[in-house]
Structure 1
Amino acid sequence: MRILLGCFLLGLTAFGLWAAAKPLLANYYERSAAKALEKQQYPKALAAYQQALRYRPDSPNINLLVARTARRAGNFSTAREHLQRCRELQSGVSEEQQVEGYLLRAQTGEVDEVFNYLLPYLIQEGPLTPLVLESLSRAYMGKYRSDLAWSFLSRWNEMQPTNVEAIFWRGTWYAQQQNTREAAADFRRALELDPERIDIRLTYAEIIRADKQFTEVAEEYRTVLRQSPGNADAILGLAQAYLELGKTNEAREQLAVIPPDKREAAAYLWMSGMVEFRSDRPELAEPLLRRTLESDPRNVDACYNWMLCLRALGRDSEATQARERFEQIEKDQKRLIQLTTQEFHAHPTNAELRCELGEIYLRMGLHERGIYWLHAALKLAPTCRRAHEQLRDHFEAVGGPDSAGKADFHRQQLANLR
């Protein structure tokens, strides 16, 4: 009996300790998340808020913070889930909850529909204004509305000049406009403020690679690998930098570090093919470059070097076809830049331009983007025959019950247009 009583008392004590510890643990993780948010480290902050939620699962405030941080990290499904949970737990609708719903809609394609609801936060500045500016900047960049995106980015940077994310997105805007000098300057500034941002360092390395600063590129990738050993993007980037510096053996050594389960990725196949090509082994390079294009149809460099391999192997007919494909990819990429940096700005409601962008993305193998822009064209002009035809043909090619139903839908829409 005494043993049972002792066990019961011990259990009560443990329960009491656990009950007392839960709020302390929740507070600890909330503070960790807040600290990560000071440098806009959204994935890290999200992980901390999710830990806090384990100890306060019924907190509407923590659910709202999880939703907000998930949205800012680009995890929209998690954002929706926790915003809905916040609504269920909270009696009535708070201003922050309502604004968060609008920001989530803005970043998932409905920015024009919710803009008027967010306008008061632009007219009268307050604590939510930077969140609104961030969301609108990202939403309009996603729609290639460079004029509107720039107006919100500029104001966001003025309000928060040391905000790493604001500087990063301004650099991304410059990169979209093909202004690599200003983009590189912003990425450098962001890294000065937060040297731990591996995503920004990788982006910066890509930007300076375009200016052929290969020695500096290699050092940036080595920095990433010191911070994150085994980072596949950095390993492949360093291999490419070595290759451009004429260090073929060093490039081959880098590729050997890639785990076997990642060796079917297009980036690995591309670099492996280029190492063999630079080693004067076109017979080994050709299949690797061909497989690269099967995985990544938009890789213009892989297509060009594949063509050279085919010529070196005496396969002239195939080389001619590869050259035609290379010219089409190059043409598509030039047109994509023209559309997204000039014509969308000049013609913000032109359905044909959005349809053309959708077609380019489908040819590049970026099917989700292609479908998005074809639907965007139909939203502006529901009777756009060209968009319905492209969607019909795409879903017919994909096959499967779900795609067959979608193809039938667009086939019927075309029949109704006759």
Structure 2
Amino acid sequence: MPRGFNVESSSPPTIPASDTPDAQAGQGRRISSAPQGGPTRGSVGGRRRLVISAAALAAAGGVWLGVRKAREELGVRAEAEAARRYMAEQDYEQALPHLQRWVQARPASGEAMFLVAKGMFATGTMDQGFAALERARALGYPGREIDRQRGLALSGAGKHREAEPLLRRALEQSTAPDPAVEEALARTLLETFRLREAREVIERWIRDAPDDARTYLWKAIVDRKTDTENDVLIEDYTQALKRDPGNIEARRELGGLYLQLHRLDDAAKEYESLLARSPGSHDALLGLAQVAMERGDEEQAVGRFRQAIEAGPRDVRPLLELAKYELRLGRVEAAMSDLDRALKVDGSEPDVHYLRSLAFTRLGMKEEAKAEREATDRLRAEGEVLKKLQMQLLNSPGDVEAQVAAARWMFEHGHPDEGVRWGEKILREHPGHTQANLLLADHYAREGKDGLANFYRLRAAPGPSAPR
């Protein structure tokens, strides 16, 4: 065994004593392996190896942790990209699980929370959506984007007074076309009867979204309410159909305009196209019946009228047209049968009572005829009241009392859905308005919805500043 090798140590052998300078200088002097009381060379080497091993293990652990963190980061990025993609495609159901995992992994991500808010608005959970928006703001997401999204959500919820300043600011600050904001602002202006301002926004929307058929449909709404010439309306609907040939509303309205102008071939073409795209459409059947009647094809017209009645039993128009035809032929009893049915469908339509007065006159029933003429005059006068209200709202869109009068007219003349729409519009901006609450309370009581009736009746209790 070579001299100086520590058997108990795992360190390598020491240098032989005969090879050291001390051994050559002092013959026969024994060289101890280490100074008295100090560590051996073997133990020093062992500790060095332990340190190296520990360092290697630490390095390996660091590499492993780094790989793990890199994998986690890649996973989070994948979730974020998937969430962004599905949100852009408006596929909120697919986006939700990716958003949830993104938020769990990065709870301080303002972008993730902002997209959560958008998803909530899209699925109707408005309160949570607004809360998520404010959380995104607190996490540092850009305030301009948050205010823009808040304006869009408020407009969609009908809270136009709160939405408008946010939407206008978003358009002012925008450096690129923003059709979504233009649509929302146009909706806000239309629903508050500010038609002239709405037209300006819609025209900007048309420029910024040249392929969107809705822009021309919304322009047509303004043009109709402002008594624009028929040629302009025809152009509105024609442009809408160029962008969306399958649009039912544009096709129906264009056919009606052509019929009104006695452009029978054009009207027939539109109604036939409508019927092909929407089989059983009572609007198309009625239009084709009117075209046939004007062309003198009475047999085809009567058949189409009856088809329209069957397809749209709640539409009074084909019943009236058929009654006119029967009266013209002297078939008074047949006409009365159609008019009795029309009376049940819509007793607030003046033409129903006018035609009944003609029928009763031919039957020699003078008192009944007189009563129907009086009803006709009354309903036409009430119709003039509505026209004046509409003009008043056009000139003074914020006139709440005119809005209440419009809601009341709708309820009193057989248009409860319109009445509810007006009432809810008023209450979105004036929640404590006594008369608006009472109108809705009475409506829901008539419908047997006692819970809603009580809700609005309680809200009608005037507070210190509640408008009456």
Distance in 2 between residues matched to 1:120 and 1:190, nearest whole Å: 29
Distance in 2 between residues matched to 1:168 and 1:387, nearest whole Å: 30
Distance in 2 between residues matched to 1:79 and 1:98, nearest whole Å: 19
1:208 to 258, 281, 304: 258
* 1:254 is aligned to 2:304: yes
Q: Are residues 407 and 54 of structure 1, via their aligned partners in 2, closer, same or farther at CA, if it must alter by over 3 Å?
A: closer
1:364 to 413, 418, 425: 413
Counterpart position of 1:144: 193
Distance in 2 between residues matched to 1:411 and 1:68, nearest whole Å: 34
Q: Are residues 230 and 373 of structure 1, via their aligned partners in 2, closer, same or farther at CA, if it must alter by over 3 Å?
A: closer
The equivalences for 1:9-408 within 5 A come to: 58=97, 79-80=123-124, 92=136, 99-100=148-149, 102-126=151-175, 129-179=178-228, 180-257=230-307, 262-263=312-313, 265-340=315-390, 342-374=391-423, 376=425, 387=436, 390=439, 394-395=443-444, 397-402=446-451, 404-405=453-454, 408=457
Q: Are residues 190 and 317 of structure 1, via their aligned partners in 2, closer, same or farther at CA, if it must alter by over 3 Å?
A: same
Whose helix proportion is higher, 1 or 2?
Answer: 1
Confirm or deny: 8 A CA contact 1:273 1:284 kept in the other structure.
yes
Tell me how far 1:273 sits from its aligned partner. 3.7
| Per-residue Cα deviation, 1:317-373 (whole angstroms, up to 9, x for no partner) | 333332233233333333333433x32233233222112211221233121322343
| Per-residue Cα deviation, 1:203-262 (whole angstroms, up to 9, x for no partner) | 222233344444432221012223333323211222233334443311222245459575
| Per-residue Cα deviation, 1:293-323 (whole angstroms, up to 9, x for no partner) | 4333443433432332233233333333322
Tell me how far 1:99 sits from its aligned partner. 4.1
TM-score where L is the length of structure 1: 0.70
Tell me how far 1:200 sits from its aligned partner. 0.7
CA RMSD of aligned residues (A): 4.6
Distance in 2 between residues matched to 1:304 and 1:106, nearest whole Å: 42
Q: Are residues 300 and 227 of structure 1, via their aligned partners in 2, closer, same or farther at CA, if it must alter by over 3 Å?
A: same
Distance in 1 between residues matched to 2:309 and 2:345, nearest whole Å: 18
Counterpart position of 1:8: none
Distance in 1 between residues matched to 2:165 and 2:151, nearest whole Å: 10
Distance in 2 between residues matched to 1:257 and 1:289, nearest whole Å: 17
Tell me how far 1:272 sits from its aligned partner. 4.3
Tell me the SS of whatever aligns to 2:158: helix
Tell me the SS of whatever aligns to 1:109: coil
| Per-residue Cα deviation, 1:68-107 (whole angstroms, up to 9, x for no partner) | 99xxxxxx9975269979998xx94777787455324314
Counterpart position of 1:3: none
Distance in 2 between residues matched to 1:86 and 1:112, nearest whole Å: 17
TM-score where L is the length of structure 2: 0.63
Q: In structure 2, what residue type is equivalent to 1:138?
A: R
Tell me how far 1:56 sits from its aligned partner. 6.0
Q: Are residues 329 and 140 of structure 1, via their aligned partners in 2, closer, same or farther at CA, if it must alter by over 3 Å?
A: farther
Tell me the SS of whatever aligns to 1:178: coil
Distance in 2 between residues matched to 1:84 and 1:282, nearest whole Å: 62
Distance in 2 between residues matched to 1:245 and 1:144, nearest whole Å: 40
Higher mean alpha-carbon deviation, 229-238 vs 289-298, is at 289-298
Confirm or deny: 8 A CA contact 1:109 1:139 kept in the other structure.
yes
Distance in 1 between residues matched to 2:282 and 2:262, nearest whole Å: 21
Q: Are residues 271 and 116 of structure 1, via their aligned partners in 2, closer, same or farther at CA, if it must alter by over 3 Å?
A: same
Confirm or deny: 8 A CA contact 1:306 1:322 kept in the other structure.
yes
Higher RCO (CA-CA < 8 Å; seq separation 6+): 1
Where structure 2 has 5 or more consecutive residues not aligned to the other structure, the ranges are: 1-81, 100-110
Question: Percent identity of the aligned residues?
Answer: 23
Confirm or deny: 8 A CA contact 1:236 1:271 kept in the other structure.
no
| Per-residue Cα deviation, 1:125-174 (whole angstroms, up to 9, x for no partner) | 35562111112212322332212212211222233344322122112210
Confirm or deny: 8 A CA contact 1:388 1:411 kept in the other structure.
yes
Distance in 1 between residues matched to 2:423 and 2:127, nearest whole Å: 29
Higher mean alpha-carbon deviation, 320-329 vs 389-398, is at 389-398
Higher mean alpha-carbon deviation, 208-217 vs 149-158, is at 208-217
Give the number of equivalent residue pairs.
Answer: 368
Higher mean alpha-carbon deviation, 202-211 vs 108-117, is at 202-211
Confirm or deny: 8 A CA contact 1:83 1:97 kept in the other structure.
no
Distance in 2 between residues matched to 1:147 and 1:161, nearest whole Å: 21
Q: Are residues 142 and 85 of structure 1, via their aligned partners in 2, closer, same or farther at CA, if it must alter by over 3 Å?
A: closer
Larger C-alpha radius of gyration, 1 or 2? Answer: 2
Confirm or deny: 8 A CA contact 1:83 1:101 kept in the other structure.
no
Q: Are residues 103 and 54 of structure 1, via their aligned partners in 2, closer, same or farther at CA, if it must alter by over 3 Å?
A: closer
Distance in 1 between residues matched to 2:467 and 2:245, nearest whole Å: 56
Distance in 2 between residues matched to 1:408 and 1:182, nearest whole Å: 46
